[in-house]
Structure 1
Amino acid sequence: MYRVMIVEDEFIVRYGIRSMIDWEKVGLEVTGEAANGKEALELIRRDPPDILITDIKMPVMDGIQLIEEVRSSGFTMKVIILSNLEEFQYAQKAIRYGVSEYMIKSDMMPRDFEKALMNVKASLDTAESDPEINAKASIVEPARKEKLLLGLIEGSRTEEGEAGSIPEEAELNGLHLPAYLLYTLIHTRDCGLFEKQQVIHETFEQIGSDRSFVVFADKQGEINVLLPVPQHEAVNSEGIKQLAERIISHLSQAYGLACTIGLSGRVSEWTELSKAYGEALAAAKQSMFAGIGKAISYSELAGAKEADGAPIKVSQSHIHTLLYGLQSKELHDYVYGLFDQLGRRQDPDLVQLISLELIMILTAIWPDVSHDQQQVVQLKKQYFDQLSKLETIEQSRDWFLQAFAELLEHMIRIYNSDRNSIIKATQYIQQHYQQEISLQSISHFVHLSKNYFANLFKKEVGESFLEYVTRVRIEKAKALLAGEMRAADVGQMVGIQDPKYFSKVFKKITGATPSEYRSLVKENKGNKESSETGQ
């Protein structure tokens, strides 16, 4: 009878696990319980069980740390993980340490739990009946195989490892070359890591049952398949592509899942697996341009891209000008043109970069043109959430066109009401020109954001805020210079404290220095008086 340990921080859950199974009937015995990983590790070192059932999130020491400690200590017991649905991503860390089953607490029914236990028990029976399998159990454990493949695709494995050379370790784990690497990209966020791994494995068993294969997850949580092929098939990848297409079709029909598969070139040496992973990933990413639900070979990418030309850049200032100018057609054409260039370049990473820049522009402008900041926060969350769902160039283009159109429509709606604020601002400047007036203070006075006010002011008045304030001050200064007040004092009277700066600005606008202007005024006045006297 195999011994079982239950590790779970909630007593009621531990009680439920004990109660839902007739342990004696299934040939198992609960011999230990612990409330956290630290307690469990002490018990395991004294009396190791055959099966470890552990929660993921626990105080003191969580389930991931417990499994890591157990494996590093040389224990080869079977492990069943219990977790909540939202912990899928966290749980993927446990894969490399060898997990036999994964159960979702909220979905766990007694029959499902019993089935999982029986599967683990069956694997223990097999190992016990075959001394050679039992002796090699710690090496042929799926986690060891996956750990080797992960190291190879990341390029972090050197020729010599803990278990010897890579070819020796691969042979010991039942891995063979030549092979192809298939990167399977499932287009849904409702399918967790373990679910994806399971459906891919089941589908390959059904569609390619005459072939050996290994299914494993990379660190991004996407599923890869190492598919060894006979030597006579290894030269031509067409058969592999046809198999991938059948896999895609089955996933769609049997599970309702859309899947893209990227195929690497032929792998002849284990040191080539990192390059093959990059090829398969690059091929799968081309679904952004080719469309999802296809098998794409890396060899097909050669010559597909437009030769690199001028850099594709987003002009933030131009977009601002079009938005604040309420130029709907011009804005539509500019964004459309950007994605047209991206479509010809066919660089998925560049699409992501440009998309992120456009998102940043949208999220920067909305706070300036909306008084409902809570709504703006929600909108930002929606934008970034939506960005992760855009899978093709057409989807990205259409979504951004709509997002900018909605922003522009909002700006048009508020424009008429905010025009009164500009009138109010100009009146304030006319009355208080001699005081210090900043863009920040005047925008606050009319209850508009600084950037929005500045752009709206220029559109409505025809010149920038600073140009307008300066012009008002110079006009007032011209009137004062007609009298006897010193030029330096005139500058201070109209709000320009630095005499040199006042003289410079005055000359720039009028074409004469303050003194020259005063002389011209006096001369014109004298000529006028002489003319009147002569008449």
Structure 2
Amino acid sequence: MYRVMIVEDEFIVRYGIRSMIDWEKIGMELAGEAGNGKEALELMQAGLPDILITDIKMPVMDGIELIAEVRRSSPELKIIILSNLEDFQYAKEAIKHGVSEYLVKSDMMPRDFEQALLNVKTKLDAAREERSSQAKSEEPAPRRREKFLAELIEGADGEAAAAARKAESLGMGPLRSAYVLHISLNAAELGFAEKQSAVRQTLSQAWADGQLGCEAFPDKQGDLNLLCLCGEEDGLAQVTGKAEEWIRLLAAQSGLTATVGIGGPIREWTEAKGAYEQAVWAAKQRMFLGGGRAIVHGLSGGRRSGEPPPEQIRVASNQLRAMAYASQSRELAAYLEQLFGRLADRRDPDLVPIVSLELLMILTTLWSDVSNDDRQLSELKKQYYDQLSKLETLKESKRWFLAAFEALAQHIARMYNSDRNSIMKAVQYIRQYYHQDISLQAISGYVHLSKNYFANLFKKEMGESFLECLTRIRIEKAKELLKRELKATDVGSLVGIQDPKYFSKVFKKITGVSPSEYRHLAREGKPPESAEPANAYPNVD
């Protein structure tokens, strides 16, 4: 059984998570609940869970602080974060700490939540199987060497002399020059154990000639790494050539595509941690260069591991939504081309999933606005997440988002043609009930359209916003009333604007004169035309 801890400040959400999952059926048990990060850390003093489910925004200690604290003592802990759509900018910080799954509360369905847990369980099972196979091995020396190297890349042995003595006791001899290689496999449908078996078998074949000393060892994520000992001269060329030879062998024998990141060189055992981080970063560059190759850290362009990131690339969310609502396919494509072009120039593999997730949030939010079929919408969101998780390169991601936004824009264009009558119905309602309190939420509900979709459709069809239309109609009615024997202070309330001062301000902005001045001019037969279209009547939602 894997132990699960839930950290969420809202009791109803904690209760929902508890009750929506048959924990025993999926091989898990609840190890505790907490209302904030501080309470969770106190609970963890009795023992760490295997899986942490945490909200982002919480009182006392939020989810980001909790994750950062837990990561210091348990880098291998699997984390699922929960967030609201409006907290996405805040959630980006949590994503940087390496989370296993990200779920949006409003979209969280029991089967989706269970699938997220099962995804994490698969990773835990794989790591447990790897440890078990090591424990059953009949070769204690290789096991000890793997453990030593795994500890090195975590920075466990901080003293160079002590690390050198331990390496020598394991038969690894003095270190002259070596490179750390990180192996990243494609998203093939093979299971974890099958992949590991294929990798280890071909590694033993590729390095069988003895020209380079090589030790394979897993990291805490279960990915395999290599330490390759080589001579001072042409060491990098030898290691790169051998890695590319192995990549071709793996593809030929198992059909797997591998990318190998190369970090180093190192001349002290304690430099292994930095070289490992370089190798992981280099392997991530497959996002820009494509997989099936050996990539040397620092030689492929882009930011180097450890360098501070440049200014963040921001997604113009409102601009994207406006273009989608206007069915501006060409403008949408041009913006996405530009955005992905900037990502390609930046060459920051940690930035791409954050931008992709933000684009996905925009897509799913827009579909929520324009779809009335909740079941179909849920299936579409699941399909989106599944498809996006299988994309490995920036080029594939760009192609996918271009197609997804184009499909959305075409859907909205078809809906506009069928929903135009709803706008006429809304205008008739405004003309009849202008004197009442009419909000955008209420009028969109009256015609059975989502608020955002209605607002954009109204603007497209009428050439003015709902707010501008409502204000214009109210001022037109106010002009008629001002020609009668009514007090100017009473006219505003009769047309739905209760604050006399605000009514006078809006009236003058639109007509160019105050209500009293308008009455005087009207009596003389000289009523002015409107000075400008209505554009100032906030807070109607």
Q: Does 1:171 align with 2:172?
A: no
Task: Please give the alpha-carbon distance, in whole angstroms, between the structure 1 residues aligned to 2:157 and 2:199.
Answer: 26
Q: Does 1:89 align with 2:123?
A: yes
Once the two structures are superposed, the pairs formed by residues 368-517 of structure 1 within 5 Å of their partners are 368-517=369-518
Q: 1:450 is matched by which residue type in structure 2?
A: K
Give the match for residue 266 of structure 2.
Answer: 267
**How many pairs are equivalent?**
412
Contact 1:265 1:299 in 2 (8 A): no
SS at match of 2:225: strand
* Cα gap change, 1:266 to 1:253, in 2 (>3 Å): same
Q: Deviations over 1:164-210 (max 9, x none)?
A: 92223333334453321111111024234333332222112111111
* Cα gap change, 1:173 to 1:385, in 2 (>3 Å): farther
Task: Please give the alpha-carbon distance, in whole angstroms, between the structure 1 residues aligned to 2:28 and 2:180.
Answer: 37
Give the match for residue 133 of structure 1.
Answer: none
SS at match of 2:343: helix
Once the two structures are superposed, the pairs formed by residues 113-192 of structure 1 within 5 Å of their partners are 123=138, 137=140, 140=141, 142=143, 144-159=144-159, 165-176=162-173, 177=175, 178-192=177-191
* Cα gap change, 1:506 to 1:57, in 2 (>3 Å): closer
Q: Structure 2 unaligned segments of length 5 or more: list them.
A: 2-25, 32-46, 51-117, 528-541
Deviates more, 1:205-214 or 1:328-337: 205-214
Give the match for residue 316 of structure 2.
Answer: 315
Which residue of the other structure, out of 83, 86, 99, is the alignment partner of 2:133?
99
Could you list the structure 1 runs, at least 4 aligned residues long, displaced by more than 6 angstroms after superposition. 58-61, 307-310
Q: Deviations over 1:74-129 (max 9, x none)?
A: xxxxxxxxxx999541124436855348xxxxxxxxxxxxxxxxx96xx3xxx8xx
Contact 2:244 2:293 in 1 (8 A): yes
Q: Structure 1 unaligned segments of length 5 or more: list them.
A: 1-6, 8-55, 69-83, 102-118, 128-136, 527-535
**Alpha-carbon shift at residue 328 of structure 1 (Å):** 1.3
**Alpha-carbon shift at residue 351 of structure 1 (Å):** 2.2
Q: Which has the larger radius of gyration?
A: 1
* Cα gap change, 1:169 to 1:94, in 2 (>3 Å): farther
* Cα gap change, 1:319 to 1:85, in 2 (>3 Å): closer
Q: 2:336 is matched by which residue type in structure 1?
A: V
**Alpha-carbon shift at residue 342 of structure 1 (Å):** 2.0
Structure with the higher helix share, 1 or 2: 1
Contact 1:182 1:263 in 2 (8 A): yes
CA RMSD of aligned residues (A): 3.1
Q: 1:149 is matched by which residue type in structure 2?
A: L
Contact 1:96 1:147 in 2 (8 A): no
Q: 1:351 is matched by which residue type in structure 2?
A: V
Q: Does 1:324 align with 2:325?
A: yes
Task: Please give the alpha-carbon distance, in whole angstroms, between the structure 1 residues aligned to 2:156 and 2:463.
Answer: 61
Q: Does 1:333 align with 2:330?
A: no
Task: Please give the alpha-carbon distance, in whole angstroms, between the structure 1 residues aligned to 2:481 and 2:273.
Answer: 79
Q: Deviations over 1:359-381 (max 9, x none)?
A: 11101110001111111112212
Once the two structures are superposed, the pairs formed by residues 189-200 of structure 1 within 5 Å of their partners are 189-200=188-199
SS at match of 1:165: helix
Give the match for residue 294 of structure 1.
Answer: 293
**Alpha-carbon shift at residue 151 of structure 1 (Å):** 2.9
State the identity %: 48
Give the match for residue 21 of structure 1.
Answer: none
Task: Please give the alpha-carbon distance, in whole angstroms, between the structure 2 residues aligned to 1:516 and 1:97.
Answer: 87
Task: Please give the alpha-carbon distance, in whole angstroms, between the structure 2 residues aligned to 1:303 and 1:194.
Answer: 34
Task: Please give the alpha-carbon distance, in whole angstroms, between the structure 1 residues aligned to 2:256 and 2:426.
Answer: 58
SS at match of 2:350: helix
**Alpha-carbon shift at residue 304 of structure 1 (Å):** 8.5
Q: Does 1:524 align with 2:530?
A: no
Contact 1:325 1:459 in 2 (8 A): yes
Once the two structures are superposed, the pairs formed by residues 8-87 of structure 1 within 5 Å of their partners are none
SS at match of 1:264: strand
**Alpha-carbon shift at residue 477 of structure 1 (Å):** 0.5
Task: Please give the alpha-carbon distance, in whole angstroms, between the structure 1 residues aligned to 2:302 and 2:482.
Answer: 73
Task: Please give the alpha-carbon distance, in whole angstroms, between the structure 2 residues aligned to 1:155 and 1:442.
Answer: 61
Higher normalized contact order (CA 8 Å, seq sep 6+, divided by chain length): 2
Once the two structures are superposed, the pairs formed by residues 218-233 of structure 1 within 5 Å of their partners are 218-229=219-230, 231-233=231-233
Give the match for residue 344 of structure 2.
Answer: 343
Deviates more, 1:435-444 or 1:182-191: 182-191
Contact 1:216 1:223 in 2 (8 A): yes
* Cα gap change, 1:508 to 1:299, in 2 (>3 Å): closer
Task: Please give the alpha-carbon distance, in whole angstroms, between the structure 2 residues aligned to 1:191 and 1:225.
Answer: 22
**Alpha-carbon shift at residue 502 of structure 1 (Å):** 0.8
